[in-house]
């Protein structure tokens, strides 16, 4: 497999530039699936989300998940980038882009990585409220945990 890029960053994610890395200068990539997860404002009640992470473990865990995906499908490259710190509504929280020769492996690889990232990568979201009130920590969804069993 060629490029495996895993990165955490406080700055906004340039989805187009990061995705281009998967195909530039090569002719074997026939499919790139990108998933972007965005911050919602929940009907105007939120001014953003604060993303806390476990430095040292977050990157290692995403790398482990990406390598597992690369072992299961014939992937030609993976980019997984996750924001930390304060993220505003409409901004990208996470980008997962997966390249392969054909679409099936790219779709499956991207979905696998996102499913495991959601409940295994050590990140926690806290709401920032538009009215300035104390925000809540976002609860984990049982459906996210259940999503792992299909793999």
Partner 1 sequence: MKIVYFAWLRERVGVPEEVVALPDGVRTVGEVITHLSGLGENYAYAFERPSVIRAALDRKHVPLDAPLGEARELALFPPMTGG
Binding residues for partner 1, rule: CB under 8 A, are 37, 51-54, 56-58, 60-61, 82, 93-94, 114, 117-126, 137-140, 145
Minimum distance of partner 1 from residue 30's CB (angstroms)? 27
Number of alpha carbons in the 13 Å side-chain half-sphere of residue 101: 4
Minimum distance of partner 1 from residue 55's CB (angstroms)? 10
- Shorter beta-carbon distance to partner 1: residue 70 or 117: 117
* Distance in angstroms (rounded) separating the CA atoms of residues 28 and 12: 29
- Shorter beta-carbon distance to partner 1: residue 36 or 47: 36
* Distance in angstroms (rounded) separating the CA atoms of residues 90 and 74: 33
Whether 58 contacts 114, CB under 8 Å: no
- Shorter beta-carbon distance to partner 1: residue 76 or 96: 96
What are residue 82's DSSP bridge partners? 8, 94
């Amino acid at each position: 497999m060629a490029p495996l890029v895993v990165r955490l960053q406080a700055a906004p994610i340039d989805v187009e530039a990061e995705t281009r890395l998967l195909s530039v200068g090569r002719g074997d990539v026939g499919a790139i699936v990108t998933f972007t997860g965005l911050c919602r404002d929940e009907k105007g009640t939120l001014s953003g989300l604060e993303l806390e992470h476990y430095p040292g473990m977050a990157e290692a865990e995403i790398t482990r998940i990406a390598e597992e995906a690369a072992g299961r499908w014939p992937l030609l490259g993976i980019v997984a980038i996750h924001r930390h710190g304060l993220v505003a509504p409409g901004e990208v929280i996470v980008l997962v882009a997966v390249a392969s020769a054909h679409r099936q492996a790219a779709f499956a690889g991207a979905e696998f990585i996102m499913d495991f990232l959601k409940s295994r990568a050590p990140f926690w979201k806290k709401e920032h409220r538009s009215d300035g009130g104390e925000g809540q920590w976002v609860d984990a969804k049982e459906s996210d945990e259940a999503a792992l069993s299909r793999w």
